[in-house]
Chains A and B, each alone.
Chain A
Amino acid sequence: EVQLVQSGAEVKKPGESLNISCKGSGYSFTNYWIAWVRQMPGKGLEWMGSVYPGDSDTKYSPSFQGQVTISADKSISTAYLQWVSLKASDSAMYYCARHEDIFDPWGQGTLVTVSS
């Protein structure tokens, strides 16, 4: 079974750094893109960017370029989403998803709360 399992919920203060993860299993991790998608409370889905674990190629949405870093470690089949300095407005649910053209499957989501 193809599965993406994300790291657990995080509570952070503004200005702190954060790294959340997404571990793939049941398929060849290096052969598919992994996307990160943000969903703010009560809002829709926003694509942040994607990484191709085979060669670490990354693509970012213009809205998120420079705000986050997306990476992958193919040796442990894990993709990452990283912030250097969190803001309260980063509070959201974050999903990873395997993709070529379509996003399938999705991870269970990681809730990030940023509050002083």
Chain B
Amino acid sequence: SYVLTQPPSVSVAPGQTARLTCGGNNIGANSVHWYQQKPGQAPVLVVSDNSDRPSGIPERFSGSNSGHTATLTISRVEAGDEADYYCQVWDTESDHPDVVFGGGTKLTVL
């Protein structure tokens, strides 16, 4: 089955740029979606289809996807961005479509 690999943690100072990666075999051929989960809350979609931003999500959130790595970039990081972030794809190469989540990255704002 398809595996998505995320670093367990990333730390960044306020105002700096955070880059959260999601690795997978030829992930660039997939559409990658990113979810933010703050403590005690349900996940929220922050980037869809590699780089689209849903209504209400700040422009500071952007995404890219190429080769074997997708990246969620958060510019001008704020304390309120501290959360767990999950990438997600559909594995269409298995016998039946399967949803795959990465293990998640905890973003700490120093």
Decide if the interface of chain A is mainly helix, strand, loop or mixed. strand
Instruction: Please give, as numbers and ranges, the residues of chain A lying within 8 Å of B99 by CB-CB distance.
Output: 35, 47, 50, 61
| CB < 8 Å neighbour of B43 from A50, A59, A61, A95 | A95
Q: Is the CB of A101 within 8 A of B90?
A: yes
Instruction: Please give, as numbers and ranges, the residues of chain A lying within 8 Å of B101 by CB-CB distance.
Output: 44-47
Q: Is the CB of B54 within 8 A of A104?
A: yes
Decide if the interface of chain B is mainly helix, strand, loop or mixed. strand
Given A44-B104, A59-B97, CB of A104 within 8 Å of CB of B45: yes
A1 to B101, CA, bound (A): 26
Q: Is the CB of A108 within 8 A of B42?
A: yes
Instruction: Please give, as numbers and ranges, the residues of chain B lying within 8 Å of A50 by CB-CB distance.
Output: 99
Asked whether A103 is an interface residue with its Cβ less than 8 Å from the other chain, the reply is yes
Q: Is the CB of B88 within 8 A of A103?
A: yes
Q: Is the CB of B86 within 8 A of A109?
A: no
Instruction: Please give, as numbers and ranges, the residues of chain B lying within 8 Å of A105 by CB-CB distance.
Output: 44-45
Q: Is the CB of B102 within 8 A of A101?
A: no
- In chain B, positions 88-106 with a C-beta closer than 8 Å to chain A are 88, 90, 96-104
- In chain B, positions 66-110 with a C-beta closer than 8 Å to chain A are 84, 86, 88, 90, 96-104
Q: Which 10 A-B pairs have the closest CB atoms?
A: A47-B99, A106-B42, A104-B45, A45-B101, A44-B104, A102-B48, A44-B103, A102-B33, A106-B43, A109-B42
Chosen A-B contacts, 10 in total, with CB atoms closer than 8 Å, are A35-B99, A44-B102, A45-B35, A59-B97, A61-B98, A95-B43, A101-B31, A105-B45, A106-B42, A106-B44
